[in-house]
Amino acid sequence: MLSIEKKKELAEMTLKLRYDLLEMIGIGTAGHLGGSSSLAETIAVLYFHVMRFSRDRLKDPNRDRLVLSKGHAALIQYAALCEAGCFPREELKRVKALDGLLQGHPDLSIPGIEAVTGSLGQGLSISLGMALALRLDKSPARVYTIMGDGEQSEGQLWEAAMAAANFKVDNLTAFLDWNKVQATGPTKDIFSIPNLGDKWTSFGWQVFTAAGHTIESICDSIEKAAACKGKPSLIILDTVKGKDFSFAEGNAAYHNGILTEESYAQAKKDLDAVKARLG
Ligand SMILES: Cc1ncc(C[n+]2csc(CCOP(=O)(O)OP(=O)(O)O)c2C)c(N)n1
């Protein structure tokens, strides 16, 4: 059970991460707001509650690993790594600058990043390799992977899904950010994959569903997944793309859209309203 204080702390961290997204995207340049914001609660829970992670143990063999398979949402991971003190805040202002640390997709040169991703479909294979290696080393560490719903059309991912079940890998938990919208429109109109949960179950995974913007629900599913022995687990996060940004919610235009002065001001207002509600 989460204490009231911890729940509040994680809600505040989630909000900070969303403010950081705005700082990184800025005005007049494109940035992946939608698929980053849909993950804010989950990223806050993983880095600041669940994972054996801190800036002092980035090389600890027994640290937990997070692989962002939907690498285009790197901004939300950068926000968390920055809040955890892995690199100076000034870097947030230089995202995608040629001489900046933070590039458009995760890169191993960034402290805290565990895998290069961006070509969709690969993160689960990478995570499976890590999980198998950790098991061989008898490490208590877990591997977490985050995939998108659009990403589910990538074939490599299903090969890794079968292999993980075959090898009974239970130190691996994958998340599916079910925000129902991909780069150019609703996922169901672009590449429909009905009954996703049943598909993963039939591939030998233990499947859970979480309300992806409710901190207790995310924590509860992660706990259940960790208790699951002899098979890998998947948590389907029921989320809203662009969550908490009024103009971006469910709107594919903000998958990687440009914020104008007006939309930037609106985005700030939207977050300020969340802040006021948090108290
Ligand atoms: C192999 C590959 N094909 C195409 C792309 C281009 N691409 C980037 S994001 C994206 C949509 C991803 O949708 P989804 O997985 O639902 O991500 P989310 O909406 O959660 O951000 C696509 C097709 C890519 N990065 N990699």
What is the percentage of the chain residues whose pLDDT exceeds 70?
A: 100
Which residue shows structure tokens 């991912």?
Answer: 157
Looking at the predicted structure, is the pLDDT value of residue 269 above 90?
yes
Nearest ligand 1 atom to the CA of 38 is 20
Specify whether the CB–CB gap between 137 and 189 falls below 8 A: no
Which of 21, 124, 146, 151 for a ligand 1 pocket mutation test, highest count of atoms within 8 Å of Cβ? 151
**Tally of residues, the chain:** 279
**Cβ atoms < 10 Å from Cβ of 237:** 24
Specify whether the CB–CB gap between 34 and 96 falls below 8 A: no
What is the percentage of the chain residues whose pLDDT exceeds 90?
A: 99
pLDDT at 115: 98
Question: What is the per-residue pLDDT across 64-82, written as a single tens digit (0 to 9) for each?
Answer: 999 999 999 999 999 999 9
Q: What sections of 144-183 are H helices per DSSP?
A: 155-166
Question: What is the per-residue pLDDT across 84-143, written as a single tens digit (0 to 9) for each?
Answer: 999 999 999 999 999 999 999 999 999 999 999 999 999 999 999 999 999 999 999 999
> Could you give the CA distance from residue 118 to residue 98 in angstroms, rounded to a whole number?
18
Question: What is the per-residue pLDDT across 217-260, written as a single tens digit (0 to 9) for each?
Answer: 999 999 999 999 999 999 999 999 999 999 999 999 999 999 99
The four Cα atoms 146, 150, 151, 153 give a dihedral, to 10 degrees, of 140
Which of 119, 182, 189, 241 for a ligand 1 pocket mutation test, highest count of atoms within 8 Å of Cβ? 182
Phi, psi of 30 (to 5 degrees): -80, 150
Domains of the chain are 4-278 (3.40.50.970)
pLDDT at 105: 98
pLDDT at 60: 98
Over range 24-48, report the average pLDDT: 98
**DSSP symbols for 226-271:** HT--SS-EEEEEE--TTTT-TTTTT-GGGSSPBP-HHHHHHHHHHH
**274 confidence band (pLDDT: 50, 70, 90):** very high
Query: CB within 6 Å of ligand 1 — which residues?
Result: 35, 38, 70, 72-73, 118-121, 148-151, 177, 179, 181-183, 187, 241
pLDDT at 40: 99
Which residue shows structure tokens 């590449």?
Answer: 191
Closest CA to 122 of 88, 86, 71, 64: 71
> Could you give the CA distance from residue 162 to residue 203 in angstroms, rounded to a whole number?
6
Average pLDDT over the chain, rounded to an integer: 98
Which of 37, 70, 187, 239 for a ligand 1 pocket mutation test, highest count of atoms within 8 Å of Cβ? 70
Nearest ligand 1 atom to the CA of 34 is 21
Which residues neighbour 279 within 8 Å (Cβ) at sequence distance 6 or greater?
Answer: none
pLDDT at 44: 99
pLDDT at 279: 87
Looking at the predicted structure, is the pLDDT value of residue 1 above 90?
no
Question: What is the per-residue pLDDT across 242-251, written as a single tens digit (0 to 9) for each?
Answer: 999 999 999 9
> Could you give the CA distance from residue 101 to residue 84 in angstroms, rounded to a whole number?
16
DSSP helix/strand/coil, 88: coil
> Could you give the CA distance from residue 132 to residue 170 in angstroms, rounded to a whole number?
10
Over range 139-165, report the average pLDDT: 98
> Could you give the CA distance from residue 47 to residue 156 in angstroms, rounded to a whole number?
27
pTM of the model: 0.98
CA of 4 to the centre of ligand 1 (A): 36
CA of 150 to the centre of ligand 1 (A): 6
pLDDT at 254: 98
CA of 117 to the centre of ligand 1 (A): 11
